[in-house]
Amino acid sequence: MRVFVTGASGWIGSAVLPELITAGHQVLGLARSDASAEKITAAGAEVLRGDLGDLDALGSGAAGCDGVIHLAYIHDFTQMKASAQTDALAIETMGAALAGSNKPMIVASGTPVVAGRASTERDDPPSGGPAAGRSENAQAALAMAARGVRSAIVRLPRSVHGEGDHHGLIARLIGIARDTGVSGYVGDGSNRWPAVHVLDAAHLFRLALEQAPAGSVLHAVSDEGVPVRDFAGVIARHLNVPMDSLPAENFGFLGMILALDQPSSGKRTRELLGWAPVNSGLIEDLDHVHYFN
């Protein structure tokens, strides 16, 4: 299968490309810079120059391939509405190019928060507000199943961890602990984060591309919920700093995320596709030296 991948040089895309190529697929990766193009080429994929605002490139990339994996997103927290609008147009453009073909389009999203329990694949995403934009766009992608697209979404947990994670939420928390001299958490630290190793997430994207029925909602969740206090403790030990409860505002935009109890289940995904995570869980991975070099 020839697969068009947006976000091909990013954190998750850099794991998805070798996963696809090793399985015998050909990959066309979207690159918005020379550096991105070099990473995609080095991975063994072809390059299409463009970005999420280049609708002509997106349309031609999707039309010339047998399927799409859409990972790219503009993570600008000062322009969340504009980022969501750009993403919506990108998804509509690629979906239109695949309409009537029954080709797969797999779109990345995030696991929802459900009060009092772990969220599941059957739970609706949040609606309303700029922060919900990406989830709403993913739902629009699912609706393209009615237009002859084998669309599915892969919801990613709060932490997609692994070697090379320099900008994810865990890496940011390590940076804050280095800067402040305290490894912190909000409240009593019992709030839970779901997590997955990046290599297991990449494997799920491939399975979704190859097998997921139209309209599937999938959860790339390995650890259902790791208490924030637990990984704050590992960070404190490795950095040799104290651990303490801190006000949410001390963490910037991360404070709101740390304050939420947001476990999530991937049970239905495992049953549907036979996905079985095999890589390190979050706590085990944090104990590897790569996070603290």
Q: Indicate the class that CATH gives domain 164-195+223-292.
A: alpha beta
Report pLDDT digits (tens) over 109-148: 999 999 999 999 999 887 665 567 888 899 999 999 999 9
Domain residue ranges of the chain, discontinuous segments joined by +: 2-158+196-219, 164-195+223-292
The answer to whether 214 touches 151, Cβ cutoff 8 Å, is yes
Q: Which residues pair with 160 in a beta bridge?
A: 196
**For residue 135, what pLDDT is reported?**
85
**For residue 248, what pLDDT is reported?**
94
Report pLDDT digits (tens) over 146-156: 999 999 999 99
* pLDDT class of 259 with cuts at 50, 70, 90: very high
The pair of structure tokens assigned to 151 is: 């669309």
Proportion of the chain above pLDDT 90, given as a percent:
87
The arithmetic mean of pLDDT across residues 236-253, rounded, is 95
Gyration radius of the chain's alpha carbons = 19
Calculate the average pLDDT of the chain.
94
Q: Give CA–CA dist 105/277, Å, rounded.
A: 22
Report pLDDT digits (tens) over 3-58: 999 999 999 999 999 999 999 999 999 999 999 999 999 999 999 999 999 999 99
The answer to whether 104 touches 212, Cβ cutoff 8 Å, is yes
**For residue 77, what pLDDT is reported?**
65
What residue spans of the chain are helical by DSSP H? 13-22, 34-42, 55-63, 80-98, 133-143, 169-180, 198-211, 228-239, 254-258, 267-273, 282-286
Per-residue CA distances from 226 to 79, 109, 189, 263 (Å): 30, 20, 10, 8
Q: Which of 73-82, 118-127, 168-177, 185-194 has the lowest mean pLDDT?
A: 73-82
Give the residue, 89 or 127, on which the prediction is more confident: 89
**For residue 129, what pLDDT is reported?**
56
Indicate left, alpha or beta for 60 from its phi (over 0: left) and psi (-120 to 50: alpha).
alpha
The answer to whether 52 touches 5, Cβ cutoff 8 Å, is no
Contacts of 231 (CB under 8 A, 6+ apart): 170, 173, 193, 282, 283, 286
CB burial of 176-185 (b: ≥16 within 10 Å; e: otherwise) equals bbeeeebbbb
The CATH T-level fold of domain 2-158+196-219 is Rossmann fold (3.40.50)
